Amino acid sequence: MARLHLHLLSDSTGETLEMIAKAALAQFEGAEIDRHFWPMVRSQQHLDRIMGEIVRNPGLVLFTLANAEIRERLENACHEAGLATVSALDQVTRSLSSLLGQEAHARPGRQHKMDEAYFARVEAIQYTIAHDDGLLWEEWEEADIVLAGVSRTSKTPTSIYLANRGYRTANIPIVVESPPPPALFGLRRPLVVGLTTSADRLIQVRRNRLLSLNQTPETDYVDQERVNKELKFARRMFADNGWPVIDVTRRSIEETAAAVINLVNERRGALSKANPGPKPV
């Protein structure tokens, strides 16, 4: 299979383009892709500087450009070079414009403006980093989510992903020889979620981790009997406390986080029905 050059042009950070490209490429197994990332393209001069590189590496040009003149210049240049272009958000924007009855604002990076939600995400990330791996358990009541699981069940990366979605997330490793602090079992505000996985998958992940650290992969850390005991201990704890459990064996970090968010929303919906508040007079 020939390699494909994929050019991602954005007038902002390019995060949206990267997510779209990642989701689309996941549908093609074994595709060999060379990505060329061009963020913050906000002037014709900037576009002209990078067009030479694009022409030298012909492929698909995927873009999100709010400025009509820059966009037209890009499309014309690519047409002359025989390159295909795709505007990633056109169809969605047109549909929304039709349904809402208003024109879209052509403002670069509008989704990244520093509003209240932006600062809430920053605060969530700071909280999550500070409360990783069982740290500062005295402040867990301030969390939105607490993830619990044995070592290498993707607690930290899932926590960071959730933080980027605005959820203050703490996590704690479940260790047979070192029970968690009693505070974990008395939490009221945060949703505690247990993460588990298959023993075979966990051993594989742990063995790869040891090898990456140039350590011997033959220790109790990857012993089949020991791992089974750890997982059984954690599952019993989850069941005894009525915590929802997510099996991460075949889930990506994004899929695990989505499942956690669904649990949070379900819990909020249940609480809202249980406490509907005063009826309007």
Residues annotated within a binding site? 149-156
Q: Taking the CA atoms of the chain, what radius of gyration do you get in angstroms?
A: 24
As annotated, the binding site for ADP includes 149-156
The DSSP element (H or E) to which 91 belongs, if any, is helix 90-100
Phi, psi angles (nearest 5°) of residue 65:
-130, 120
Cα separation, 147 vs 248, in Å, equals: 12
The CA distance from 7 to 75, in Å, is 13
For the beta sheet containing 191-196, the strands, ordered from the edge strand earlier in sequence to the opposite edge, are 169-173, 145-149, 191-196, 245-247
CB-neighbour burial class of residue 220 (10 A; exposed 0-12, middle 13-18, buried 19+): exposed
Amino acid identity of residue 21, one-letter, is A
Alpha-carbon distance of 5 to 78, in angstroms, equals 14
Which strands make up the sheet holding 33-38, listed edge to edge?
33-38, 4-10, 59-64, 84-87
Q: Does residue 8 sit in helix, strand or coil?
A: strand
Q: Is the dihedral of CA 248, 249, 253, 259 positive or negative?
A: negative
